[in-house]
């Protein structure tokens, strides 16, 4: 059967994450359920949609990827229009592509990029940004950059992994941690943000060949601990070497995180 | 009594506009009510907060201004922190300033700037932007610019005024209509929006000495009619001269509109 690759954006605030929870008693749906519901209604048969991986409850996506199979006579349908007409407003299909029938959204992924945004004053958070940032207050960006340099590379990331998912190894290659430059604010073209004058939103990007459970949120929690003076960047190598989650600072909140892109 | 000037941002989606509705049976609160509720709880007495003007149901603000009076012994309280701790997340006080006791948020305003955002493809709307744009699909920006040139200046704007509020005159000076350049997208720093390559969100700014009821939304409805070929920009001068709301295109939806700034 023809296979379709979906690129999906969502605001995760009202979802219990990407993946369908077995035996869930929670009232919130998952993004996967919403997509499957549309596909099933169109195809008249149960459909499984395979994502590149889970996102936690409350985490957003700008470029989640998933695949599913459709009968040949339904393959050329305008699936993007169909999905976007029937999905809730907080989920959008950005792109639909016909791919080889052995393409697999999870298995073929060669890497992922996650974005994590901070808001750097505690005086106020702009209501538009509230669902998408962690309002940490001011941070020492240079200290965070120094800590980031220790985290990049191939390591056992057990220290930054929450338990709950079986994995064969905790070794991952964190290709890069970068951040947005001190440039204009998103929304800087509106007069009132412009007068703030300094960039109060900063976004960090984490690119790796794969991520462990809550790894980005745990890495970000450690970067912010360095940025707020609670942890020295020099302590990061021993933290990493300890392979002990209990030693690392607290997990950063879900709302600042977004799955920016899946690489193939 | 000391007078305080508040600069306020809000996401208008869940509010019945700025102003308290007399005899309202609607379940949604207004932004003014939320602010007064906080001030009353702190001061222990009914408080009236005066805004620079109304915003419609569903319209947002980045820089609404309001004033209220407080007893001398409460004037130096950290009012910004108080408001932001007690307000819902979709309203934020960006600034609090002590002003002269004859300052009036509405009467002293010398002008206002409204922003209106369009999303230029109907294939999808990014979930983060959905509450803040009108998804018109592609528009002819040059035709809209030509129409804007006819609307700028001092005119009787009756054609672009919805009835419902008594005013002495419909003459206003529309100082300028400008728009965001074809620059990078908001969110262009995330890989998946960047690959779109062209700016799919465009924002128009309207600056005038004052606005009539739904004037910006009516002006935007006319600009978009020009941008989608339903109206010739050359027809705009006679539309304006007709002073007849029935002749103008439909009102643009509330959600794309934001009160960007009040000028004093």
Q: Write out the residue limits of the CATH 3.30.70.580 domain(s) in chain B.
A: 3-99
Q: How far apart are CA B31 and CA B93, in angstroms?
A: 11
A187: chain B residues, CB-CB within 8 Å: 62, 186
Check residue B186 and give its pLDDT: 46
Closest C-alpha among A118, A179, A182 to residue A152:
A179
Q: How far apart are CA B130 and CA B134, in angstroms?
A: 8
Inter-chain touch B128–A125, beta carbons under 8 Å: no
Check residue B184 and give its pLDDT: 47
Inter-chain touch B7–A192, beta carbons under 8 Å: yes
Contacts of A159 (CB under 8 A, 6+ apart): A218, A239, A240, A242, A243, A244, A245, A247, A248
pLDDT per residue as tens digits for the range A27-49: 679 999 999 999 999 999 999 99
Q: Does B78 touch chain A (CB under 8 A)?
A: no
CB B43 within 8 A of CB B77: no
Q: Which of the two residues, B28 and A19, has the higher pLDDT score?
A: A19
How many CB atoms are closer than 10 A to CB A16? 20
Does residue B199 have a pLDDT over 80? Answer: no
Task: Tell me which chain B residue has its CA closest to the CA of residue A91.
Answer: B127
pLDDT per residue as tens digits for the range B15-30: 999 987 666 555 679 9
Q: Is A10 marked as binding a ligand?
A: no
Average pLDDT, chain A: 91
B261: chain A residues, CB-CB within 8 Å: 190-192
Q: Name the least confident of A212-216, B156-160, B163-167, B248-252.
A: B163-167
Does residue B189 have a pLDDT over 70? Answer: no
Q: Write out the residue limits of the CATH 3.30.70.660 domain(s) in chain A.
A: 111-263
Q: Does domain B3-99 match CATH 3.30.70.580?
A: yes
Mean predicted confidence (pLDDT) in A140-161: 96
pLDDT grade for A20, boundaries at 50, 70 and 90: confident
pLDDT per residue as tens digits for the range B60-96: 999 999 999 999 999 999 999 999 999 999 999 999 9
pLDDT grade for A218, boundaries at 50, 70 and 90: very high
Q: How far apart are CA B223 and CA A128, in angstroms?
A: 26
Check residue A191 and give its pLDDT: 41
Inter-chain touch B186–A190, beta carbons under 8 Å: no
Q: Least CB-CB distance to B260: which of A7, A9, A190?
A: A190
Check residue A24 and give its pLDDT: 57
**3-state SS, residue B76:** coil
Q: Does A124 touch chain B (CB under 8 A)?
A: yes
Classify the complex by whether its ipTM is higher than 0.85, answering yes or no. Answer: yes
Quick one: fold of B111-263?
A: Alpha-Beta Plaits (3.30.70)
Strand ranges in chain B using DSSP code E only, listed in sequence order: 3-10, 50-51, 60-69, 91-99, 111-119, 134-135, 153-156, 171-179, 201-208, 257-263
Does residue B262 have a pLDDT over 70? Answer: yes
Mean predicted confidence (pLDDT) in A158-186: 83
Q: Does B89 touch chain A (CB under 8 A)?
A: yes
B71, exposed or middle or buried, with CB in 10 Å at 0-12, 13-18, 19+? exposed
pLDDT per residue as tens digits for the range A104-115: 999 999 999 999
pLDDT grade for A22, boundaries at 50, 70 and 90: low
Query: Does A56 participate in catalysis according to the annotation?
Result: yes
């Amino acid at each position: 059967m023809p296979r379709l690759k979906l690129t999906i954006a969502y605001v995760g605030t009202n979802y219990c994450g990407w993946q369908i929870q077995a035996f869930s008693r929670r009232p919130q749906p998952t993004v996967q359920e919403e997509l499957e519901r549309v596909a099933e209604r169109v195809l008249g048969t149960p459909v499984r949609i395979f994502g590149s991986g889970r996102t936690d409850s409350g985490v957003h996506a700008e470029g989640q990827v998933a695949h599913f199979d459709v009968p040949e006579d339904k393959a050329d349908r305008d699936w993007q229009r169909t999905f976007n007409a029937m999905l809730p407003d907080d989920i959008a299909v950005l792109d639909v592509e016909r791919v080889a029938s052995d393409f697999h959204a999870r298995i073929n992924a060669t890497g992922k990029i996650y974005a994590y945004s901070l808001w750097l004053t505690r005086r106020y958070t702009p209501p538009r940004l509230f669902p998408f940032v962690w309002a940490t207050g001011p941070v020492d960006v240079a200290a965070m950059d120094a800590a980031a340099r220790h985290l990049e590379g191939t390591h056992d990331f057990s220290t930054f992994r929450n338990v709950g998912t079986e994995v064969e190894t905790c070794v991952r290659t964190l290709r890069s941690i970068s951040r947005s430059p001190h440039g204009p604010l998103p929304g800087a073209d509106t007069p009132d943000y412009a007068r703030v004058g300094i960039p109060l939103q900063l976004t960090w990007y984490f690119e790796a060949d794969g991520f462990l459970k809550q790894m980005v949120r745990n890495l970000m929690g450690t970067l912010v601990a360095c940025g707020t003076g609670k942890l020295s960047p020099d302590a990061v190598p021993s933290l990493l070497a300890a392979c002990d989650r209990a030693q690392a600072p607290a997990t950063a909140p879900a709302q600042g995180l977004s799955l920016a892109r899946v690489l193939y």
